[in-house]
Amino acid sequence: MKLHLIQRSPFSNSALKDCLNTIGENDSVLLMQDGTYSLNHPLLTDIKNPTYALLQDSSARGLTTPASTKAIEYDEFVMLCSQHKHVLSWY
């Protein structure tokens, strides 16, 4: 069980696409920093994995979190890291 941290925009980097090519069925995705620009990206519409976005990062960019993604605070981010066996950063 892995937590994948997407930290770059899908419009300037292949991190999201690369991550989704390797993601396992029990893995989760967290969008943070410029990775929150992925919130409405078509690549995320077909995945069944739990998807999260850091509320502070999406709000700072003027983005709204869709219903398919759970907006979380930093304390929940820490909980997610402790609940997953591995944490992988994509950037």
pLDDT in tens, 24-79: 999 999 999 999 999 999 999 889 999 999 999 999 999 999 999 999 999 999 99
- Homologous superfamily in CATH for domain 2-90: DsrEFH-like (3.40.1260.10)
Give the DSSP letter string of the chain: -EEEEE-S-TTT-SHHHHHHHH--TT-EEEE-GGGGGGTT-GGGTT--S-EEEEHHHHHHTTPPPPTTSEEE-HHHHHHHHHHSSEEEEE-
Decide if 37 contacts 53 (C-beta within 8 A).
no
pTM, to two decimals: 0.94
Domain positions in the chain: 2-90
Mean pLDDT (the chain) is 95
